[in-house]
Chain A
Amino acid sequence: MKGSEEDAKLETMSEAITAAVPAATEIEHTGPVVSAKEVTRRYGEGDTAVDALRGVSLDVGRGQLTAVMGPSGSGKSTLMHILAGLDRPTSGEVYIAGTEISKLGDNDLTKLRRRHIGFVFQFFNLLPMLTGEENVVLPLTIAGTKPDKAWVDDLLSRIGIADRRTHRPAEMSGGQQQRVAIARALVSRPTVVFADEPTGNLDSSTSGEILTLVREAVDTYGQTTVMVTHDAHAASIADRVLFLGDGRVVRDIGRSSSTDILRAMEEIGSR
């Protein structure tokens, strides 16, 4: 019982904080949306300890699509988890919309994610018992806010699932499910969307459609997006491509063709 009282207290506190956060965003309007300063992440202790990140600093620019690439074990997933407030750095600082998150409690962090972060997962992660539309507005439902109908309608038709709004995930193709997941990430107009291998579980033509959608969201809504991928073709739609190797940022290039990206990967791999 004591726990839930504390929770209640925390929740009121965090509501106050969340209320204050947008103001902070306004102030930092011109600054980076997400930034990391000398972030390290170590898993385990002693001899078996693994350093997933060994000091990463970066800023994610507003309205940009940033791709994070790297071979398995390069730390790209860990970096994304930390930037998204799902995991905490062992050392260093992470700012999301101007708030330093490494000191926040679980409740405040949850509220921060609610307000500022959208997710697209590799395996879609839709709730099987909800319809397409219910899945899309789920973040708003959880936050207890009423969805703006016009906005949701607009979003659904732009994403191309207006005709799937009453269907359940089991009645949809993989591509349709991922479209629903993208709409779900965008519905709360988050400060930044993190996409984790969004095409990793789709065939190549569906992948192309999904990548187009991600790009359109950046162009149409100015949606800041961070996409983790190991697919050079996917990374080629990004405004900026970061390469991670062995827990560090090893290369940081602007918009590139998939050929250039592949070459960069080879170079990193051969070093």
Chain B
Amino acid sequence: MTAFALRGLLLRKLRTALTGVAILLGVAMISGTYVLTDSISNAFDAIFTQTYRGTDAVVSGKSAFNLSDSGTTTDPSFDESLLPKVQALPDVDAALGGVAGEAQLIGRNGKAIVFGGAPNLGFSVDPTQARFNSLTLVSGSWPKAGEVVVDRSTAGKKDIAIGQQIGVQAQGPVERLRVSGLVKFGAVSTIGGATLAGFDLKTAQHLFAKVGRLDQIRVAAKKGVSPQKLQAEIRSILPPGTQVRSGNQQATSDAKDTNSFVGFLQKFLLSFGGVALFVGAFVIANSLSITIAQRTREFATLRTIGASRRQVLRAVILEALTIGVLASVIGLFVGLALAKGLFKLFDAVGFTLPNNGLTLETRTIVVALVVGILVTLGASLRPALRATRVPPIAAVREGAELPPGRFHRFRGIGAAATALLGFAALAYGLFGSGLGTTTVLLSMGVGALLIFVGVALFSSRIVVPLAHAIGFPATRVGGAAGVLARDNAQRNPQRTASTAAALMIGLALVTLVATLAASIIGTFNSAVDDLAGGEFYAITAQNNYSPIPVSAAEAAANTPGLDGLASVRAGDVQVFGNTRQMTAVDPTIGKIITLNWKKGSQAVFANLGESGAFIDDGFAKNHDLSVGSGFPILTPTGRNIVLTVEGIFKPPAGGSPFGPVTISSKTFDANYAQPENLFTFVTMRGGVTDANKSALEQSLAKFPNAKVADGDQFKKDQASGLKSTLNILYVLLALSILVSLFGIVNALVLTVFERTRELGMLRAIGMTRRQVRRMIRAESVITSLIGATIGIVLGLVLAALLIVRVDEINFFTPWGQVVVFLVAAILVGIVAAIFPARRAARLNPLEALQYE
């Protein structure tokens, strides 16, 4: 039987290959994800190890509590007088003080050089202490006062040459520095899209507004002194607000953010690999079912000559196993290529990742193979069981068909029940109260899975009317070919439904994310309109989200024709034991932004004073606060302040510019080391005009990192990050759509094979090759449109469910995208039909007249 099963596969090479591709792509996605994320992790590890090589201890500033990773607040700096004290310690061989921060390089066009969302790192370098220096000079010389070294990759991309003057903007207005040399970072080939700028210590302290202060002291111990002893020695002289850690601990702490990012990226990409495999499972189950239906007579013959049911089962499962193993092994290696492609993809959407060569871990190999093989086996179970039910008598019957399964009668009910169970699980995850994150994600995941399976099974019931409606244009345009195509699509509803189901899943997910994005953007836009109307300008960072120095807003305040200007600052704060984002506003902001006050009024903005705060209604409810209540906060600098509630507002659906707690910018500035603005809102006399815009830009000329946008542009800019995310999601989901495309190709090839005699008859009685091709193509398009229609509806329903759960978003239907998806489905149908249609057209009409 083993030989029989394997020979069968060889005989049906094409079908085997097409079936395998479905699994191959899913496995490739999984192995590609692991390779990608492992490679990124390794690159980051290399970066951080490189940074702290030769360092036995690191002294750094310490916040009063653990900061969030929002980037609005950094650890405080400390006085540089600590450095000589450390250097004087008996066990210290060498110690080097440094500062670091965001430093924008300004390109020749006067614009800030930014590669996607990658950071612009600036820091002091000291070439005399080579042991602490993680940079290697490629050409030129190390920077002296008023000079800068730039990383080779940025210099190459932006045409920066040694000796030229370049603009650098950090905390103050832009300054012109001379490029003294080009550097690279250790042995790492790329550090993502990050730009590097190195200065001598004095220049760096000036640029980062940290004159007389340090962010870090790196210390090397004398020979024979253990790092522990060194750290203990340093700890004894540390002032408050500082800490000492080993080089490794510091590297781990620095890597914390990137590790959680890589971990997230891994789960994120794996889930798309999972979707592709899930779709692949549908494709395999469908292909195997069709092949087995076609081989009814073969199985019956085997049974008559003495094969047991168990042997038939084993033969079919062995076939699936062989396909699964081959596809998984190939998929594993395709994954390596895919990882390269993903690096390029993220690069293309402006999200460059660090790359230090591809890493293939044993774990990747094991997981990819095991998952690929198990999914294939799981998908083959049902078809294999059906094969065992072929009675021996079918061997001698003309046109024998597979007997319906024992539970055939309950199929419709079962399918509906599965889908309902799925919706119930999803709803439980969404609306159940007091559930842990794992429970929520698990019940939502299982729910989605059940919904897809249930809808796929149930859809055979609605295929006939759907095909009738969708096929109508085909019957008008395609003549006899169109009519027959529609009839063919309705002929075996179960098969059409299974084929369409694979595409249905992909399109449901695509529609889901498109709808969520459209809803988030739509709600955000109306929130901005409610808060500020359209007649305002916003000053943000070029990348739309980084905080910008307060000095930029001060420069903009001098613009002629300015009517009102108010900034929103943000920083981490500890309140009721949690780290939250606190915002701060200028008293004038009430002129520009109008809030929906539940308690208090617009006057609150101007009357916050030293210790006043306004809070959102959720925060008020959670902590039982009302106007006049006091509550304590802890700032990163270690100050305890008791705030008094002056007003309570209801945040608009779609996003609030203010966090749960908002104080006056005056109090904020007094308690944060380096206050920065998230946004500055400006109104001008005469409203939004070209002249007003250029006047604002004129006064911000020294802040190239600042961007002036009018209300409409501001809305678009804020949505742009979401749109790039959406584009990444589309590309990733395209993979599962590609899998379903192969599914359609496979089903059509099998169908053409099955209808050989019929096609021969049609050719004999006068159907041209062109008509045959048109017929297959139309059937393919009808099938994919059935999948698309069900998928889009399902996607909208799922999105609606999620949006109902989240009060902050209102539902918006992305009509434009829905049309695009339908067109894409038509294209999928056309592309899928190319090969099967050609095969069908080439059939010899003689086939119709030949009988066994």
Contacts and interface: CB of A to CB of B under 8 A. Distances in A.
Interface of A: 4, 7-8, 11, 77, 81, 84, 86-87, 106-107, 110-111, 113-115, 118-119, 121-123, 125, 127-130, 138-139, 141-144, 184, 196
Given A125-B757, A144-B479, A114 B765 contact: yes
A113 B767 CA distance: 9
A142 B767 contact: yes
A86 B771 CA distance: 17
B766 A113 contact: yes
B768 A127 contact: no
Contact of B767 (A110, A122, A128, A196): A110
Interface stretch (B22-30, B35-43, B481-489, B583-591): B481-489
Q: Quick one: which of B490, B758, B761, B763 has the most chain A CB within 10 A?
A: B761
Interface stretch (B609-617, B700-708, B842-850): B842-850
Nearest to B757: A125
Contact of B768 (A11, A84, A115, A141): A11
B487 A127 contact: yes
B849 A121 contact: yes
Contacts of B765: 113-114, 118-119, 138-139, 142, 184
A195 to B, nearest CB: 11
Main secondary structure of the interface of B (DSSP, over half): helix
B487 A125 contact: no
Contacts of A142: 480, 762, 765-767, 771
B324 to A, nearest CB: 34
B715 interface: no
B468 interface: no
Nearest to B483: A141
B111 interface: no
Contacts of B771: 142
- Which of B479, B768, B769 has the most chain A CB atoms inside 10 A of its CB? B768
Given A7-B769, A122-B849, A138-B765, 19 more contacts: A11-B768, A81-B849, A86-B849, A107-B768, A110-B768, A111-B768, A113-B765, A115-B766, A118-B765, A121-B849, A127-B758, A128-B491, A129-B487, A129-B488, A141-B479, A142-B480, A142-B762, A142-B765, A184-B765
Given A4-B773, A129-B488, A141 B758 contact: no
B410 interface: no
Interface string B743-775: 000000000000001100111111111110100
Contact of A87 (B490, B767, B773, B846): B846
A7 B772 CA distance: 12
A150 B186 CA distance: 90
Contact of B491 (A123, A129, A138): A129
A139 B766 contact: yes
A128 B488 CA distance: 9
Contacts of B4: none
Interface in B467-523: 479-480, 483-484, 487-488, 490-491
B764 A113 contact: yes
A242 B761 CA distance: 26
Contacts of A7: 768-770
B407 interface: no
B32 to A, nearest CB: 33
A203 to B, nearest CB: 14
A87 B484 CA distance: 26
B846 A111 contact: no
A200 to B, nearest CB: 9
Contacts of A81: 846, 849
A162 B763 CA distance: 27
Contacts of A115: 766
Nearest to A127: B758
The interface centre, meaning the residue of A8, A121, A130 with most chain B CB atoms within 10 A of its CB, is A121
Contacts of B479: 141, 144
A128 B755 CA distance: 11
Nearest to B773: A4
Q: Which among B487, B763, B773, B845 has the highest number of chain A CB atoms within 10 Å? A: B845
Contact of A123 (B757, B768, B845): B757
5 contacts: A114-B765, A114-B766, A129-B491, A141-B479, A143-B480
Interface string B6-28: 00000000000000000000000
A110 B766 contact: yes
Nearest to A142: B480
B168 to A, nearest CB: 55
B848 A125 contact: yes
What 5 A-B pairs are tightest by C-beta distance, nearest first? A114-B766, A125-B761, A141-B480, A129-B487, A7-B770
A115 B765 CA distance: 9
A138 B767 CA distance: 10
Contact of A111 (B484, B764, B766): B766
A189 to B, nearest CB: 13
Contact of B770 (A11, A77, A84, A87): A11
Contact of B764 (A119, A141, A144): A119
Nearest to B848: A125
B757 A129 contact: no
Contacts of A114: 765-766
B846 A86 contact: yes
Interface string B814-852: 000000000000000000000000000000011011010
